[in-house]
Structure 1
Amino acid sequence: NERLHVEVLSSSKMSLLHPKENLGYVIINLADVVTNRRINEKYNLIDSRNGQIQIELQWKTS
C-alpha cells in the first residue's frame, strides 16, 4: 500500500526575513494512480484551514 506524501510550502522572495511556511499536505494512494493510469484531482490540504491543491499524476510503464 504505497502512498505519496505531498507537502505544500509558501514561497517567499525574502527567504531570510520570511522563512517558508508549511501550508498543509496531502496523501495520495498510488494504487489509485496505477489502477486508473492517471489522476487529476483537487485535494483539501490536511492541517490547513481552507487550502486546496490540484494534482495531476500519470502512470507510465516502460
Structure 2
Amino acid sequence: MKLLLDSTRCQGYGLCQEPAPELIDLDEWGYARLRETTVPDDAAEAAAAAVAACPNSALKLVK
C-alpha cells in the first residue's frame, strides 16, 4: 500500500500528522511531508486515519 500526497491541496492544517507521525512530518509552516510512501502493514490503520483527517483530501491510499 502506498500513501500519496498532493501538496497542491495541502493547506497546512496538520491534522494528518497526529494519527500517523511515523509516516508524516510537518514542515515549518505546518504543511505535510511524507516520511515514507510505502505503508507498512502495521501502519495501515494509522495511514487510513491520516487520510480521513485531511479536510482537503490531500492524502490518498493506493494499493
Task: Sort the TM-score into its range (normalised by shorter chain).
Answer: under 0.3
TM-score (norm 2): 0.26
Structure richer in helix, relative to its length: 2
Q: Which is greater in Rg?
A: 1
Structure richer in strand, relative to its length: 1
TM-score (norm 1): 0.26
**Higher RCO (CA < 8 A, seq sep 6+):** 2
